[in-house]
Amino acid sequence: MKPFHRLISFEEAKKIIMENTKEIERIEEVDILEAVERVLAIDIHATFNVPGFKRAAMDGYAVKAEDTFNASLTNPKKLKLVGKIFAGEKSDKRIGEGECMQIATGAALPQGSDAVVMVEDTERHGNYIAIHKPVYPGANVSQPDEDIKKGCKILGKGEILNPPKIGVLAALGIRKVKVYEKPKVEIFPTGKEVVELGKRLEEGKIYDINSYTLASLLKKAGSEARINKIVDDDKKDIEEAIEKAKNADYVIFSGGSSVGEKDILADVIEKKGKLLFHGIAVKPGKPTICGVIGNAIVLGMPGYPTSCLTNAYVLLLPSIKKMARLPFEIKRQEVTLAKSIASTIGRYQIYPVKVKEGKAYPAFKESGAITSMSMADGYIEIPANVEFIEEGSKVIVTYF
């Protein structure tokens, strides 16, 4: 067993991972119903005007505006009702002087008319409509390009498709849209102590936790994660896993990066690509390996569930979001620390806390315990040069 040669700082580790993270360039076409929260890969230019025709912006009567000038409640103008138009219909009839046509919101304005009088400002007398208020030309009328103008760039490459933007695509009749692919992550659980879910648990063994916490986190973060069969901490098996994952954007070994004799991932990375670091001055999560092989970032995560998952939150998540071209948005809140926390000088600490009534309670059990995190609401980060945070201090909680 050899100790780590040199632990790099948490900040340095994060910087190295981010510098080696490239934004996805691959594009795929998806149905707009599947496109919400995806990243647009092309500019969208309007190929026609929307709505495409002059339409009534109100329920009322299509008129020649000048026929209404001087109308008032005491001295209404009477116009002859010559028809009605519902939304989605188009009238062939032309409105002449002194005439009007009943029109519904959204319906195409009939020829000859240039304004709509709101129904509230009228009164019907048989085949005549009394107009109580004058309107100017264009009143209560939407122009053909009022929403979207033909030829204009209406959405831009890199925009995240939210519901209103999906609406713009629908308005232009676009059913399928080009978006950037989601990052592809291959997860390889490692270690003889790990047992696949569904198999019998023998003494000395534990179920594979890390593959599921990682895959859940990655799914939530907008990437595609695949859990592979358990790999032995063995040079040949690890080389085969890397070969199998060669089209991935990220390859994660969960476990098998401690200093034990069997830890050979670093050697394989050095042989096949470039080792970026091995060991971080962070607690928990020290035995973490990072390298690059081909186009993929290779991460060797600590085997302990809490170590693995806190590392995933602080190091993997920002990188995956950058890769996916998504903003790194996390829920943070300033709260008061309910109990003092001692930290290890020289190591950046990720500390799980439970938040109750605006106060953060320490929730850490030990780095092997998944319940350290499942019973917490989030974590606080303690810089390497801080060894004690006093009860009552203000701390920032990042929620899981």
d(CA 112, CA 189): 74
State the minimum distance, in angstroms, from the CB of residue 76 to a second copy: 17
Question: With CB under 8 A as the contact rule, which of the stretches 273-281, 339-347, 354-362, 367-375 interacts with a second copy?
Answer: 367-375
- Is residue 364 part of the contact set for a second copy (CB under 8 A)? no
- Contact at 8 Å (CB) between 350 and 400? no
Q: Which of 21, 30, 83, 146 binds a second copy (CB under 8 A)?
A: 146
Rule CB under 8 A: which of 78-117 touch a second copy? 86-90, 102, 104-108
- Is residue 17 part of the contact set for a second copy (CB under 8 A)? no
Q: Which element (helix H / strand E) includes 337?
A: strand 332-337
C-beta of 125 vs 331, nearer to a second copy: 331
Rule CB under 8 A: which of 205-224 touch a second copy? 205-217, 219-220
- Is residue 369 part of the contact set for a second copy (CB under 8 A)? yes
- Is residue 52 part of the contact set for a second copy (CB under 8 A)? yes
C-beta of 298 vs 309, nearer to a second copy: 309
Rule CB under 8 A: which of 298-357 touch a second copy? 303-305, 309, 312, 329, 331
Q: Which amino acid is at 122?
A: T
Sign of CA dihedral 39, 311, 225, 398: negative
Sign of CA dihedral 186, 192, 193, 194: positive
C-beta of 56 vs 248, nearer to a second copy: 56
Q: Which of 342, 350, 364, 343 is nearest to 397 (CA)?
A: 350
Q: Which of 18, 27, 42, 201 binds a second copy (CB under 8 A)?
A: 201
Q: Binders of a second copy: how many residues, by CB under 8 A?
A: 96
C-beta of 19 vs 29, nearer to a second copy: 29
Sign of CA dihedral 319, 320, 326, 327: negative
Q: Which amino acid is at 375?
A: M
d(CA 344, CA 16): 23
C-beta of 66 vs 145, nearer to a second copy: 145
Rule CB under 8 A: which of 263-302 touch a second copy? none
DSSP string, 102-143: EE-TTPBPPTT--EEEEGGGEEEETTEEEE-S---TTTTEE-
